[in-house]
Chains A and B, each alone.
Chain A
Amino acid sequence: MPSLGSIRRSFTPWDDPGAKPYISFQNVTKRFGSFVAVENLSLDVYEREFFSLLGPSGCGKTTLLRMLAGFEEPTEGELFLDGQPLKGVPPHKRPVNMMFQSYALFPHMSVADNIAFGLKQDGMEKAARDERVQQMLKLVKLEEFARRKPHQLSGGQRQRVALARSVAKRPKLLILDEPLGALDKKLREETQFELMDLQQELGLTFMIVTHDQEEAMTMSDRIAVMDKGIIVQTGTPVEIYEAPNSRYVADFIGSVNTLEGKVESSNGDRVVLDGPDGKITGALREAAINKGATAWFAIRPEKIGISRTRPEGAVNAFEGEVWDIAYLGDMTVLNVKLGSGAVVQAAMLNRFRLVEEPIGYDERVWLTFGAESGIVLDR
């Protein structure tokens, strides 16, 4: 998707203080009995944005979507869509359509009737309706299946019918609840790109719920990582991956090593941590950190260098023993046990087919990384 990349690069409405948010959650709280599903949450999403809500099951992400669609009303706080308050607006009056996790295709209707359902509700003329249905079938490449019933389709085809049905009314906002959850890995990857193309083509705002971090990274302009009813961090995939604001986010997206230590000194954006395996120098994410406080140095496995001898001039270098080796083809992941017993994961890209002396089990190796490669987190 080279063209997509260049378009999206210039798309950063969230950095523009004058931009008007399309969806706005303002201090929204949702309780079910004594259970707090969403707690005092505020979030702005902009027009044409592909926004992902990412989090484990039960973190409140689906509740957020259901409030947007109108199936739940916030207990406290307000919700705005295109500047209009959504309070009390029933689902059928919202310019929002939803794609359900179970697809929720009407089993007694054919594919074409399913897609036409919403158009019929709007009282669209038959000729225009038929044309729109054809257009939608073409969009999801299911022209030959118009007369089939949902039970006669494969999982992937059903997913496309659900998608076609939810965009048939040309909503301004499409919300998708785990849209790819029921597909197998290969199909899921293909569909990810199709969804992105579709969003571009129709100029829609997408709000998607997923627990699959890879899915969120691939498709989204921005991601909100949720935990227990609150948003822990909102940011672009790069920000979330490279500059997580907490161990929770760092751990949720990709693999990460977190090394604990006490803050020994902080100088500008450099912090020195005193850990059980020695001193670690890292970049500080937050504005300031107290001396003596407990902090964590978080570093991704692919940013760690591995060598048999201690490289000259490395800022951070730790010696350890190879504990486990996982050869994945494109890379090799080594688990290295440091002196304190902490296990650090390091990944090596396999750039050459043949390596004369590959690192083996129980070998002593040096792990090195620059101060900028990792980030110091205070929570």
Chain B
Amino acid sequence: MNIVSAIKARLVIIVPYIWLLFFFLLPFLLVLKIALSDLEYGQPPYAPQFSFSDGWGEFWSKLTSLDLENFIFLIGDSLYINSYLSSLQIAFVSTVLTLLIGFPLAYGMARAPDGLRPILLMLVILPFWTSFLIRVYAWIGILKQEGLLNQLLLWLGLIHTPLEILSTNKAVYIGIIYSYLPFMVLPIYSTLEKMDESLVEAARDLGCTRIGAFWKVTARLAVPGILAGCLLVFIPAVGEFVIPDLLGGSGTLMIGKTLWIEFFNNSDWTVASALAIILLIVLVVPIVWFQNAQARATEQSR
């Protein structure tokens, strides 16, 4: 009986592991293999290529020809390092700005009357009903020189020459904040909504001002939601390609764009793969850190 149920319990766990194996680990290994290969003109443009008809000796010689050459090349060229650093910087600044906008939004939603909350929640999710690409395109129409924003500001008399926003990093920030705001708002909203409002009253009763109670109780208890929101914005923002490509200019350096150029314009699959591997490693660190923070938070609030 025990053995049977133990096996059954294991079987359940196997399903997600199989999923991870086929859809994460195998693709990762394929990319890693390309990253370790050498550039070659051909189809596909790298060597060596393994085949099932290879003999043992052939397989071994192909395997030993894999090397870290592409990674060494990446480290040697400041373009790539600058791409990473610039991506991290843009992602970081966007995350902070998204938090500054998202927190008050989530707070307002959580404190809204019961009947209004589902509607507000809907409004936050509503943009997802339109394709991401189209929404980013729409921003071109808003931000360009003769776009809606400039027309409005000129008409209001706030500016006399149109602002240059499109094709600068400003447009990239706007695009990222706009696109990822729901990912910030929703986790923060869910932690704030669960929070017992009498905790704030208790803090005020015990001598806190309104602002003091906000920092010591509301903000402190929202930390798990804030962390989740920040990572949900930061991680995809680092690797973002569409937004810098459409809204950014030639000066916008982001790793997603660099990767695209290597892959499609230069047809250098091997360097593109190496870039992807490093990006993954750069992102795994905050994810693991986040997982630990989450585990600690659940331990605390249990």
B209 partner residues in chain A, CB cutoff 8 A: 90, 92
Find the A residue at minimum CB distance from B209. Answer: A92
The reply to whether A71 and B201 form a contact with Cβ atoms under 8 Å apart is yes
The reply to whether A118 and B301 form a contact with Cβ atoms under 8 Å apart is no
Measured CA separation A165–B221 after assembly (Å): 19
B196 partner residues in chain A, CB cutoff 8 A: 102, 104
B236 partner residues in chain A, CB cutoff 8 A: none
Find the A residue at minimum CB distance from B207. Answer: A121
| CB-CB nearest 9 A-B residue pairs | A121-B207, A118-B206, A104-B202, A104-B198, A91-B204, A92-B207, A100-B198, A98-B205, A104-B199
Measured CA separation A203–B259 after assembly (Å): 74
Give a binary string over B170-208; 1 marks a CB under 8 Å from any A CB, 0 the rest.
Answer: 000000000000000000000000001011011111111
B10 sits at the interface (CB 8 A) = no
B2 sits at the interface (CB 8 A) = no
A117 sits at the interface (CB 8 A) = yes
The reply to whether A90 and B204 form a contact with Cβ atoms under 8 Å apart is yes
A147 sits at the interface (CB 8 A) = no
Q: How far is the CB of B287 from chain A (nearest CB, A)?
A: 24
Residues on A facing B (Cβ under 8 Å): 69-71, 90-92, 96-98, 100-102, 104-108, 117-118, 121-122, 149, 151, 165-166, 169
The reply to whether A104 and B207 form a contact with Cβ atoms under 8 Å apart is no
The reply to whether B206 and A97 form a contact with Cβ atoms under 8 Å apart is yes
B206 partner residues in chain A, CB cutoff 8 A: 92, 97, 117-118, 121, 165, 169
B302 sits at the interface (CB 8 A) = yes
B8 sits at the interface (CB 8 A) = no
B221 partner residues in chain A, CB cutoff 8 A: 107-108
The reply to whether B207 and A169 form a contact with Cβ atoms under 8 Å apart is yes
Measured CA separation A92–B221 after assembly (Å): 21
B208 partner residues in chain A, CB cutoff 8 A: 92, 121
Tell me which of A69, A90, A101, A149 contacts B300 (CB under 8 A). Answer: A149
The reply to whether A106 and B207 form a contact with Cβ atoms under 8 Å apart is no
B302 partner residues in chain A, CB cutoff 8 A: 151
B124 sits at the interface (CB 8 A) = no
Contact status of A102 and B198, CB under 8 A, knowing A92-B207, A92-B209, A169-B206: yes
A96 partner residues in chain B, CB cutoff 8 A: 205
B111 partner residues in chain A, CB cutoff 8 A: none
Q: How far is the CB of B257 from chain A (nearest CB, A)?
A: 42
Other contacts beyond A92-B208, A92-B212, A107-B199: 5, CB < 8 A:
A69-B205, A90-B204, A92-B205, A102-B198, A108-B220
Find the A residue at minimum CB distance from B198. Answer: A104
Between-chain CB contacts (< 8 Å), 16 pairs: A69-B205, A71-B201, A91-B204, A92-B206, A92-B207, A97-B206, A100-B202, A102-B198, A104-B199, A104-B202, A106-B203, A108-B221, A149-B300, A151-B301, A166-B205, A169-B207
B217 sits at the interface (CB 8 A) = yes
Tell me which of B198, B201, B203, B210 contacts A117 (CB under 8 A). Answer: B203
Residues on B facing A (Cβ under 8 Å): 196, 198-199, 201-210, 212, 217, 220-221, 300-302
B301 partner residues in chain A, CB cutoff 8 A: 107-108, 151
The reply to whether B212 and A108 form a contact with Cβ atoms under 8 Å apart is no
A90 partner residues in chain B, CB cutoff 8 A: 204, 209-210
Contact status of A106 and B199, CB under 8 A, knowing A117-B206, A151-B301: yes
The reply to whether A91 and B217 form a contact with Cβ atoms under 8 Å apart is no
Measured CA separation A100–B76 after assembly (Å): 63
Q: How far is the CB of A3 from chain B (nearest CB, A)?
A: 32
Contact status of A91 and B205, CB under 8 A, knowing A108-B300, A121-B212, A151-B301: yes
Q: How far is the CB of B298 from chain A (nearest CB, A)?
A: 11
The reply to whether B205 and A97 form a contact with Cβ atoms under 8 Å apart is yes
Q: How far is the CB of B249 from chain A (nearest CB, A)?
A: 45
Find the B residue at minimum CB distance from A177. Answer: B198
Q: How far is the CB of A178 from chain B (nearest CB, A)?
A: 12
A151 partner residues in chain B, CB cutoff 8 A: 301-302
The reply to whether B217 and A106 form a contact with Cβ atoms under 8 Å apart is yes
Measured CA separation A102–B217 after assembly (Å): 16
Find the A residue at minimum CB distance from B212. Answer: A121
Measured CA separation A121–B208 after assembly (Å): 6
Measured CA separation A100–B202 after assembly (Å): 8
Contact status of A122 and B207, CB under 8 A, knowing A106-B217, A107-B300, A107-B301: yes
The reply to whether B201 and A100 form a contact with Cβ atoms under 8 Å apart is yes
A165 partner residues in chain B, CB cutoff 8 A: 202, 206
Find the A residue at minimum CB distance from B206. Answer: A118
Measured CA separation A105–B202 after assembly (Å): 8
Find the B residue at minimum CB distance from A92. Answer: B207
Find the B residue at minimum CB distance from A66. Answer: B201
A104 partner residues in chain B, CB cutoff 8 A: 196, 198-199, 201-202
Measured CA separation A315–B217 after assembly (Å): 66
Measured CA separation A71–B209 after assembly (Å): 12
A100 partner residues in chain B, CB cutoff 8 A: 198, 201-202
Q: Choose among A69, A121, A165, A169 the residue with the greatest number of B CB atoms under 10 Å from its CB.
A: A121
